[in-house]
Amino acid sequence: MQQRQTEQSAEQEYVDALYARLDGEVARVSADLAEAVRGSSTDPEEAFTREVRVGMLDRRARTLRAAEQHLCFGRIDHADGSSLHIGRTGLSDGDDQLLVDWRADAARPFYAATAAHPMGLRRRRHLRLEGRSVTRVSDEVLDGSEPGPEDVVGDGPLLEAISARRTGRMRDVVSTLQAEQDAIIRSAHRGVTVVEGGPGTGKTVVALHRAAYVLAGFEEARADGVLVLGPGSRFLDYIAEVLPSLGENDVAMTTADRLVADALDIGLDLADVPEAGHALRRAAGDVRLADELAETVRRYQAPDGTLTVMVDGDAITMDTHALAEARATAGGAGLPHNQARSLFKDLVVDFVSDEVQARARIMLAKLDEDIEVLTGGVNVDQAAAKDLERLGFGPDEGGAFGHAAAVAELDPGALRAELADDVALERAVEAAWPHLQAADVVLDVLDAHPELAVDGIPGDGGTWTAVHLPLLDEAEHLLNGPPARTYGHVVVDEAQELTPMQWRSVLRRCPGRSMTVVGDLAQAGPATGAASWADALGSDLAKRADVRTLTVCYRTTAEVLAAAAPLLAQIAPQQAPSRAVRNGDEPRRRAADGDLTGAVVEEVATEVAYGDLVAVVAADDAAPGLAEALSDSPAGGVRVVPVSQVRGLEFDAVVVADPEGIRHARPGGERDLYVALTRPTRRLVIVG
Ligand SMILES: Nc1ncnc2c1ncn2[C@@H]1O[C@H](COP(=O)(O)OP(=O)(O)OP(=O)(O)O)[C@@H](O)[C@H]1O
């Protein structure tokens, strides 16, 4: 006891020094920032340098502010007697490293050392801070030696963290990251990392901490930004605080639908775009539609036939052969349709211009012949010179007159410019290779696929829905090329939920293919049904991916996992169940006895009495009725979450209403039920 207090006061002293340093740095950075913002310069290079400096200082200021809470959470003591304190940001005093950023290599043993592989450590210490006070010190001795008098053996900060009551918002877990998670977070692999694992193994945690790590460590991620994609707005709200608490405020977070809706400037406001059913989403997610869209666009590109342009009353026609050649050249240049159209138009202008010049040459040759006939073979140069001059044709460079000079006078550059602006020519080009909008192309495909339309063709009685977004995005890409906004690193959570067409939208925005993809195929909803990562990502990317598996469940208890195990064996027999790190209550099962709503209301009341965060999970069409019944009950305010929206979320206690109803509500309902059963951190109640 005495020893513990001495250790704690020593740490308090150290932590006081850290906060003094932090305060000093905050003051210094704020002053530098204010000065940098005030400065002004007309020299563009100086202005640019200042802008970069403002950006860096601003980032540092935010990191320091975010680090204020739980600034330091650990310490490692090396066998050689040296030690390091680990925290949310690095702090130094001259050459003295007072605090090591958790992302730094030097911090790695804090997360990765074990008694079997101590990595040169003698001891790992966890510090708990409340405000600026050290309220607990707990140690693990790692060199296999007996605890000495100064060692305070830890009481499981991890267990404490995972047993804590949930608030409905995910927190960062930087102080208790586990070795298997840490290894993925700091992986140097710059390509695609796939993280799979059962429910609650920390996939989301890993994805978000990796985003923070990548931002600090990968230049391209810092330069081009990091994007985090989640399955829905409920989920995004749930994870919204994690990255800011790690000092990262600049990460874009959105859903795959919104990503595309925001990027496409086609007058589609997602608020007006209804969510569509899973069957439609699945059908519209079929990757073969990408080929159909490409084929549709190709059909617009100089279809077989001829192209005629009227020039000064003369019809000039590109025959099928010439047209096919122009199509092959323009279409084969690897350009998107609307850009290739410019090339095609250039080729048409070339053709017409050549033809006009050739005709002029023939006409003038004929004129020469006619004159020769009329003058009986007399050299007319002298005689014609005056006439030609009068007609506006000057002498050529050698001072000679003749049709060569006359043709040269037809200035090809001026002729081409005139043709390029010619309305008739533009009309002929538009007919052969029209400028297209994404919606035009998708509407053509919908014509051939009435099953993808909702209440008819959009614009003609029907509506665009979210499921059409990846099709519009694909078409936009075919027409106008890659998206303007791309990212240096993309994190995809609940990745099993993306359809193949959505993957194409995502990959398009990550040209460097630096990605962290986390998900669990056993939880795949009915819209995707991906059986492998190769199905999802495409086999090329999947082959190159670094696939990691998380095996320990940090969310729920062994008892809850056991209740879900038979279902897992059924839906993913190849997947080994995760190992839970703690035990709890047996799940409670209650028959509905003909009154499901009444039974749910009662069970919810029991759970709410514990003071826990409680949710009811029900089939989508049963959820609104239950929500209404509950809002009238004393347990009003408890969330009823439709099963289709519960992926990735967690609650202290979960009441699963009518499991058979969930199982049969939509195809793959047993996967929905598996997701529902694995949401609680403490207690599971099954009513039905
Ligand atoms: N190292 C850790 N320290 C403390 N808590 C952790 C740790 N790892 C995971 N957790 C907690 O476990 C819970 C589950 O984590 P997370 O949501 O990341 O799992 P998941 O694998 O994404 O689950 P799902 O497949 O259901 O979406 C969260 O509350 C998370 O904070």
Tens-place pLDDT, residues 624-651: 999 998 888 777 678 999 998 999 999 9
In this prediction, residue 336 carries a pLDDT of: 97
- Cα gap 120→141, rounded to integer Å: 12
Protein residue with its CA nearest to atom 8 in ligand 1: 202
Tokens representing 516 are 């962290």
Q: Please say if the pLDDT value at position 387 is more than 90.
A: no
Q: Which has more confidence, 107 or 404?
A: 107
**pTM of the model as a whole:** 0.87
- Quick one: average pLDDT of 390-405? 49
Q: Please say if the pLDDT value at position 151 is more than 80.
A: no
Q: Please say if the pLDDT value at position 146 is more than 80.
A: no
On whether the CB atoms of residues 424 and 310 are closer than 8 A, the answer is yes
Place of tokens 């033809």: 355
Binding residues for ATP: 197-204
- Cα gap 658→618, rounded to integer Å: 7
The verdict on ipTM greater than 0.90 is: yes
Q: Please say if the pLDDT value at position 396 is more than 60.
A: no
pLDDT in tens, 507-522: 999 999 999 999 999 9
User: Best of 238, 521, 554 to mutate for ligand 1, by most ligand atoms within 8 A of CB?
Assistant: 554
pLDDT in tens, 245-281: 988 888 999 999 889 988 887 555 555 555 567 888 8
- Cα gap 171→152, rounded to integer Å: 27
Q: Please indicate whether residue 201, judged by its CB atom, sits closer than 6 Å to ligand 1.
A: yes
Of ligand 1's atoms, which has the minimum distance to the CA of residue 523? 25
Protein residue with its CA nearest to atom 27 in ligand 1: 648
In this prediction, residue 385 carries a pLDDT of: 58
In this prediction, residue 105 carries a pLDDT of: 93
User: Best of 111, 181, 184, 205 to mutate for ligand 1, by most ligand atoms within 8 A of CB?
Assistant: 205
Q: Please indicate whether residue 178, judged by its CB atom, sits closer than 6 Å to ligand 1.
A: yes
In this prediction, residue 194 carries a pLDDT of: 96
Protein residue with its CA nearest to atom 14 in ligand 1: 200
On whether the CB atoms of residues 511 and 219 are closer than 8 A, the answer is no
Protein residue with its CA nearest to atom 2 in ligand 1: 177
Q: Please indicate whether residue 205, judged by its CB atom, sits closer than 6 Å to ligand 1.
A: yes
- Quick one: average pLDDT of 83-95? 94
Q: Please indicate whether residue 680, judged by its CB atom, sits closer than 6 Å to ligand 1.
A: no
Q: Please say if the pLDDT value at position 404 is more than 60.
A: no
- Cα gap 131→471, rounded to integer Å: 51
3-state secondary structure of 392: coil
3-state secondary structure of 597: helix
Give 556 Cα–ligand 1 centroid separation in angstroms: 9
